Structures are given as C-alpha cells and as structure tokens.
Amino acid sequence: MKTRIRGTVLITLSAEKFPLKKTMNTSQTVLPYVRPTAGVFRNLFLLMAAVLGLWAFSGWAAPDPLVITNQPVSQVVAIGQSVTISVGNTGVSPYRYQWMRDGVLLPARSSSSISFNSFQYTNCGTYQVVISNVSGIVISRPASLTITNMELYGWGHNSYGELGNGTTVDVSRPIRIAADVVAVGGGYTTWFVKSDGVLWGVGKNGSGQLGNGTNRNATLPVAIATNVVAVGGTDHCLFTKSDGILWGMGANSFGQLGNGSNSSTNLPIRVATNVVSAAVGNGHSLFVKGDGTLWVMGNNTYGQLGNGFYTHTNRPISIASNVVAVAAGMDHALFLKSDKTLWGMGRTSYGQLGNGLSAEPQTETSTNRPILIATNVVGMAGGERRPCFSRLTGRSGGLAAAP
C-alpha cells in the first residue's frame, strides 16, 4: 500500500530583499530586477524541490505498472489427465486476460488460468497470455502443454540429412525422428525441442545454423542448447529460452541476427531479452517483447522490416506496439495486435499482403510501412508467398499457407 500526503506549499518573498514598487502610470505592482546571486539560485532550487515534492506525494502519483509475477510453466501430462496452466500478475485492476495457443487467440479463454479436465492430443501446443489494464499490455513467455512421449516424424527431401536418420536418401514414408518433442521448426535444417528443454538440430549447416561450432551438415541430431521453449529458422535460426532471452546462429549477411555484425556464426549468440515470440524469414527476423513492442532486423529489400526504408539493418529496431503475435514469409511479414487487427509489410507482387496492390508476378510492388489487412483476426501464418489468417467468424482470408 502506498501512502499519499496531500497538502499546500506556501512560498513567500522577503520584502527587505525584494522591495516592491509601483509602475509609473498604473497601480500594477512589479518586482524590480535582481542580479542573480548564489542565494537566489539556492532559493530557486528549493522552490523546484518543493514543487516536485508536492507532485510526488500528492494524488498525482502514477499507477503501479502491470507486471507478470508468475510465468506459465510447461507441463507434460498423460492423455485424459487434468491439468491447469496459469499466470500471476500485479498492477491496477481490473485486468483482462487473453490466452493464445501457438500464436492463435483463444476467445473463450479469458481468465488467469486454463484448465483441462481431460487433456487430449488436440490440446497440445505452446500457450501464452496477454494481460491488459489501464497501463497497457504485457505478454507472458511461452509454455508448452504436451502429452508424454510425443513423437516427431518426417519424410520427403533428405539431401542434407534433415530427416535425421543417418542418411541423405529421400524418404517416401513417415519415419520417426525423435520422441518427447514439444516444439519443432525448420526447412532444410530441422530443429526440435524436447520436453526436458534441450534444443536439437539436424540437416543443412552451411551457414552454421545448427550452432554446434561447425559448418558441416549433420545426418543425426546434435544437441545445441538447454532451457529452450521455442525455435524457428531457415539459413539462420532463432530460439527463445525460458528466461526470455533470444539467441541466434547461422547466416547473417543482412544482419538478421541483430548483433551489429554481418558475419555468420556457428555458435549461438545472444540477441535480446524479455522476448516472448519470434519469426524468421528470408534473411529478416522479427520478435515481440513482453511489453508488446515489435522489433525487426535484417533484409529489407522489399520493406519487410516496416520501418519506412529499404535499407538493411543489423541492429533490432522497434516499429510497432501492442503486438501479440508475429509471422514471416519469404519477403513479407505479418503481425497481430491486441485489438485483433492484422498488419503486414514487404513484398506484395503476388498479392501476399491482401491489399489489392498487385497479384501479378511481373508487377513488382511492395510497402515499407505496416498496412492494415483485416480486423477481428485471431491467428495468421506467414507462408512463403501465400499467407493466411483466421477470423472469429470462422472464415479464412487468403489461401492455404505454404510450408
């Protein structure tokens, strides 16, 4: 509890030191000019201190900030088991809670916790919550809810060993890659997080995106880091740890790792703190902080960083606020705000921003500022050149998202 003191500050001037006089033609009273002295400056300082003190101890004090005190915790449960995931916070009530699963808003989940009486496969995912009040918004770190012994399977292209079976031979049927997996991402490189928080990688490594200190491809999974909760990547990789620190490795020719350099790295480097989600595109990166600010870095050929320019940057820059989720395409980016508006920026020569500018590949168009795409949106996917989104009505905009 804060104690506030209300009162009045009385300020007087000595008639001996500052004699009053009348103006020549009016009855107005004015003060004579006084040459500044050390005593005058001291009096001015005391006056300022008194005013500031009155402000600090009056009813003008700023409200307590909105702070998450207990982050959601990842859990592994058995099918049919009951489970609850929750968040704790302080600040000025009332609060509004909006839960998300895998970046998609869950309209019916609007309390400080989510409970499942009988947990099922369809409930698995990465959960976060957006909390708002008069002060603004805060977003929790991601936490996974999954079942025991969740297995990861893959098939298809395997020229880099990305299926993790010890060969580089393509596979036409699903094969088991790993067990106890809670998160996965990648393309020619496969990254996955196990229930113990260990990040593994396998496949293409020409730019060091496996983060294991080499640039050699791997046909069997290699351990990279611990306490990881989310991962994504292409020729560069970003992953978030349970403490909210974002790490990156791999290609960096556009500065997409945000470390002030344009040199690739085959070991993880620290990128930012207080990060709750991130997305990786074709040489560009985006991440959202716990205060809802969106940060971008890297390739900006088509304005996909949304900062009003077409020049690349190797340092993170903030471009938007009240952002709750983010997605990246090949040359474009999307983000969802807390008011359920969907925004996009970057290349739109295939009509991928859904703003009617162009749907002809031969017509090169782009935008370097975020533009409004749709309202009442609860989730989106970046795709390569074909993004999609979902509305509360159940309708979808755009086409099926590309892998």
> Tokens representing 278?
């991130």
* Residue 403 within any structural domain of the chain: no
In three-state secondary structure terms, 120 is coil
Nearest Cα neighbor of 201 from 185, 95, 383 is 185
The answer to whether 201 touches 207, Cβ cutoff 8 Å, is no
Instruction: Look at residues 102, 131, 146 and tell me which one is the last residue of a structural domain.
Output: 146
The answer to whether 209 touches 249, Cβ cutoff 8 Å, is yes
> Tokens representing 245?
């620190």
The answer to whether 189 touches 205, Cβ cutoff 8 Å, is yes
The torsion region of residue 219 among left (phi > 0), alpha (psi -120 to 50) and beta comes to alpha
Instruction: Look at residues 146, 166, 184 and tell me which one is the last residue of a structural domain.
Output: 146
Instruction: Look at residues 12, 29, 61 and tell me which one is the last residue of a structural domain.
Output: 61
Instruction: Give per-residue pLDDT as tens, 170-202.
Output: 999 999 999 999 999 988 999 999 999 999 999
In three-state secondary structure terms, 137 is strand
The alpha-carbon radius of gyration of the chain (Å, integer) is 28
Percent of the chain exceeding pLDDT 90 equals 70
**Is the same domain home to 326 and 236?**
yes
pTM beyond 0.95, yes or no = no
Backbone phi and psi for residue 57, each to the nearest 5 degrees, phi listed first: -105, 5
**Is the same domain home to 265 and 248?**
yes
**Is the same domain home to 258 and 288?**
yes
**Is the same domain home to 214 and 81?**
no
Cα end-to-end span (Å), the chain:
52
| Cβ neighbours around 280 below 10 Å, total | 26
The maximal CA–CA distance of the chain, rounded, in angstroms, is 103
Q: How far is CA 98 from the centre of its chain?
A: 16
The answer to whether 142 touches 185, Cβ cutoff 8 Å, is no
**Is the same domain home to 206 and 96?**
no
Residue 44 is predicted with a pLDDT of 53
Q: How far is CA 93 from the centre of its chain?
A: 24
- The pLDDT of 4-8, averaged and rounded, is 37
Instruction: Give per-residue pLDDT as tens, 28-82.
Output: 444 444 455 555 555 555 555 554 454 444 455 567 899 999 999 999 999 999 9
